[in-house]
Amino acid sequence: GAGVSQSPSNKVTEKGKDVELRCDPISGHTALYWYRQSLGQGLEFLIYFQGNSAPDKSGLPSDRFSAERTGGSVSTLTIQRTQQEDSAVYLCASSSRLAGGNTGELFFGEGSRLTVL
Amino acid sequence: AQSVAQPEDQVNVAEGNPLTVKCTYSVSGNPYLFWYVQYPNRGLQFLLKYITGDNLVKGSYGFEAEFNKSQTSFHLKKPSALVSDSALYFCAVRVPYSSASKIIFGSGTRLSIRP
């Protein structure tokens, strides 16, 4: 597609349930990032992928959070046993590889708003 | 530790006046610096970037930013503010690491332009 696509756009779940959030990056973008934004707040880095590997997972808040990327394209962020503090907007972004004139600015999706009751 | 700071949670400016949104960084090496804007209920949009070269970079919607290496700052500026500039602004820095690297964001500054 033309832009970064995220689904679902809105997810309401009960405490303790698992959720999966999907990100489809811009075609050809090798780098993919996940961030979390609490209401009106800044962006908290979660994880980024270069291809299918994740050089930096340092931002994942706990072992309930995991992410994978397959085929160098679609990524899924999974939150197990959701807690109320997981409620936030989860943003995905992609960028082209840093090479030549590509300076790797991020292109963001519209986000997935997660509400844990 | 590497970090980005936006010292002002909110900036209020009258329409037509110049605006400045401040950003300082603490990163080893030569960072790439970015500004992004988030309009209400929208995703983040890229505004401008500094990679190398002229310290004054120009971007979308009439915005510009000045890179100051000695002060480790990258303040966002616009000569004449518009009400439509009201939004949440984020400064970001790409941490040098291999060929695709972690990008960290400041906490954001809410810009409010009054008519």
User: Chain A contacts of B97, Cβ < 8 Å?
Assistant: 55-56
Model confidence at B100: pLDDT above 90: no
Q: How does pLDDT run across B19-78, given as a tens digit for each residue? A: 999 999 998 778 889 999 999 877 899 999 998 888 999 999 999 999 999 999 999 999
State residue B101's pLDDT score.
62
Q: Least CB-CB distance to B102: which of A41, A45, A110?
A: A45
Give the residue on B whose Cα is nearest the Cα of A57: B102
State residue A100's pLDDT score.
44
User: Chain A contacts of B107, Cβ < 8 Å?
Assistant: 41-42
State residue B99's pLDDT score.
45
Give the residue on A whose Cα is nearest the Cα of B90: A42
CA dist., res. B21 & res. B105, Å (int): 14
Q: Are strands B10-14 and B109-114 parallel, antiparallel or unpaired?
A: parallel
Query: Looking at chain B from residue 34 to 73, which residues have their Cβ under 8 Å from any Cβ of chain A?
Result: 34, 36, 42-46, 49, 51
Q: Least CB-CB distance to A42: which of B43, B45, B108?
A: B108
